[in-house]
Amino acid sequence: MPYPTNSQEWIKALGARLDIQARRAQLYETYYSGIQLAGVTLMSTVKYQEYFSKMFKAIADNWLPIVVDAVSERLSIQGFRMGPTETSADKEAWKFWQYNCMDARSQALFNTVLTTGCSFIMVWNSGDRDKPVLLTAEHPYEVYVAIDYETGLRTAAIKRWHDEWTGEIRVNLYFPDHLEKWIRPKGNNEYLPLGDQAYIPNPLGTVPIVPIRNRTSLKRDDYLSEFHDVMSTQDQINKLVMDMLIASEYSAFRQRWVTGIDVPIGEDGKPVELFKLGVDRMLTTGDPAARFGEFGASDLSNYVRAIENRVQSLASRTRTPAHYLLGQSGTFPSGETLNATETGLIAKTKGHQVEYDDPLEEVVRLGFRVLGDTAKSKITDSEVMWNDPEYRTESQHVDASVKKLAAGIPYEQIWIDLNYTETQRMRFKAWLTEQAQLDAIRVTPVVNSGAAGNNGAPNEPQPTATLDQQGMVGSTPVGVRVTSPHVSA
């Protein structure tokens, strides 16, 4: 299929694909929020729906948010490593990541990616000299990026939204060499150029919107929600919960019956209620043929076991630890058992980190293009530094750190392994420098004139301490008190 030849065709073509993407994202988000109905009603008879339609709207025993949140809460970025030597680039990348408030926005971004299957980050120049790089997280309701099937490169993108102030529909088109802005006034069916902003050159040389997709395959533009495979299982759980509630309404209480008596008909043509039941009342009748009895109550535990079976299936298929979902159904794991139950979740989270690495690195490179730093924008061996997704106790962290330090691992790497951010690590370096200066003062040379045993000659001056690359004073760790027969402590 040839590419569109003019802007109106691009708006139409990209807009149609955006509509498909938005509908798909909306379906996933209704399941995440627990307001889906279609899957449940498909399992029910028409009569069932007729009687209990109101209950469908009120009941949702939703487990899917746990599937998403268990992963998203472990996806936290602590910095960027721009190659083996570009430490200044590390700081700059972290700087524009921070002033765009991407700590918080990235969490919402990852949650959206896991829920809907895709999301986007737009990179542009903010026009602010102090904070020139502008990063915005974009929702699949509003943004679509077209990928060239031959090269895999981004060919065009669209952002479409409704202006709540004016009621107008806004459309931005993004191409490697320029941007276009269009507007559709309220009540109009055609898009019009947005004045002097209709055409804006793109100095970045590429479409400035980077897609981040979840559970991708080799097929272009392919992605899935984290819970795509278990949406029907969630419907089954909701149906079982509704069945249990209906059973509790109609047959979970003992129902009494009586035979052998005539029931009179009232003036309204309805049977007259002969007995008023209550804890302080007795059923009596003068008819010797009367017989009383009761039906047994329904056992709701059958429903509970069926629901737990479905939840267990959901946990296994999504590699979500069962104790996240069924913590009260058995013994809660601890120690090594707890670590073993979370192995699948940790492996899945690390897989997502690898999946999201490349688009995030592309975002950083585009940020350096905005800054005009061509060399840093071409770094291809950069890395995203993620927090460790595996939870460990403080004692486990400290024990591992001591062993790494003994093995000669640099302090910087140990700080990274302990999940300290770029800002915290820079603060540590400043503190080490201050500590080294204080220790250097403690080991300044002291000259004695005519000390005994030295034939009256001055003592030979001792060298002052210096801070090496490991934050050590000579061969002595910073903070260790240095003493010597010839040096005052």
Residue 475 has a pLDDT of 43
DSSP character string of 122-173: EEEE-S-SSS-EEEEEE-TTTEEEEE-TTT--EEEEEEEEE-TTT--EEEEE
- Pairing state between β 382-386 and 472-473: unpaired
Q: Residue 131: what residue type?
A: K
Give the number of residues written for the chain. Answer: 489
Helices (H), 73-126: 87-99, 102-116
- Pairing state between β 118-125 and 133-138: antiparallel
Could you read off the pLDDT of 406-435 as tens digits, one per residue? 888 888 888 888 888 888 888 888 898 888
Residue 374 has a pLDDT of 94
Residue, of 365 and 441, whose pLDDT is higher: 365
| Cα(217)–Cα(223) distance, integer angstroms | 7
Question: C-alpha angle 388/394/397, rounded to 5°?
Answer: 55
11, containing H or E segment: helix 7-33
Over 60: is that where the pLDDT of 101 sits? yes
Closest CA to 308 of 287, 333, 329: 329
Mean pLDDT value of segment 219-224: 86
Q: Residue 289: what residue type?
A: A
Residue 457 has a pLDDT of 53
Do 193 and 182 contact (CB within 8 A), yes or no?
A: yes
Question: C-alpha angle 361/95/142, rounded to 5°?
Answer: 55
Do 382 and 83 contact (CB within 8 A), yes or no?
A: yes
Closest CA to 403 of 416, 389, 414: 414
Helices (H), 270-342: 301-318, 322-325, 335-341
Do 35 and 26 contact (CB within 8 A), yes or no?
A: no
Over 70: is that where the pLDDT of 458 sits? no
Residue, of 447 and 260, whose pLDDT is higher: 260
Distance set, CA 412 to CA 18, 388, 471 (Å) = 44, 15, 10
Mean pLDDT value of segment 198-220: 94
| Cα(480)–Cα(473) distance, integer angstroms | 9
Could you read off the pLDDT of 190-205 as tens digits, one per residue? 999 999 889 999 999 9
| Cα(321)–Cα(343) distance, integer angstroms | 9
What DSSP state is assigned to residue 265? B
Residue 24 has a pLDDT of 96
Residue 431 phi, psi (nearest 5): -65, -40
Do 207 and 157 contact (CB within 8 A), yes or no?
A: yes
DSSP character string of 444-478: -----SS-TTTTTPPPPPPPPP-B-TTSEETTEET
Residue 126 has a pLDDT of 97
Over 70: is that where the pLDDT of 393 sits? yes
Residue 261 phi, psi (nearest 5): -130, 155
Residue, of 371 and 265, whose pLDDT is higher: 371
Residue 402 has a pLDDT of 85
Average predicted confidence (pLDDT) for the chain:
84
Could you read off the pLDDT of 12-39 as tens digits, one per residue? 999 999 999 999 999 999 999 988 776 6
Residue 486 has a pLDDT of 40
Q: Residue 66: what residue type?
A: I
Could you read off the pLDDT of 309-356 as tens digits, one per residue? 999 999 999 999 988 887 655 566 666 777 788 999 999 999 999 999
DSSP character string of 392-450: --HHHHHHHHHHHHHTT--HHHHHHHTT--HHHHHHHHHHHHHHHHHHHHHT-----SS
Q: Residue 159: what residue type?
A: K
Over 80: is that where the pLDDT of 188 sits? yes
Mean pLDDT value of segment 202-231: 94
Residue 460 has a pLDDT of 52
Over 70: is that where the pLDDT of 1 sits? no
pTM, rounded to two decimals: 0.79
Residue, of 74 and 282, whose pLDDT is higher: 74
| Cα(314)–Cα(31) distance, integer angstroms | 14
| Residue found under tokens 């109609």 | 250
Over 70: is that where the pLDDT of 479 sits? no
Q: Residue 136: what residue type?
A: T
242, containing H or E segment: helix 231-250
Residue 455 has a pLDDT of 53
| Cα(360)–Cα(205) distance, integer angstroms | 18
Closest CA to 76 of 354, 397, 346, 388: 388
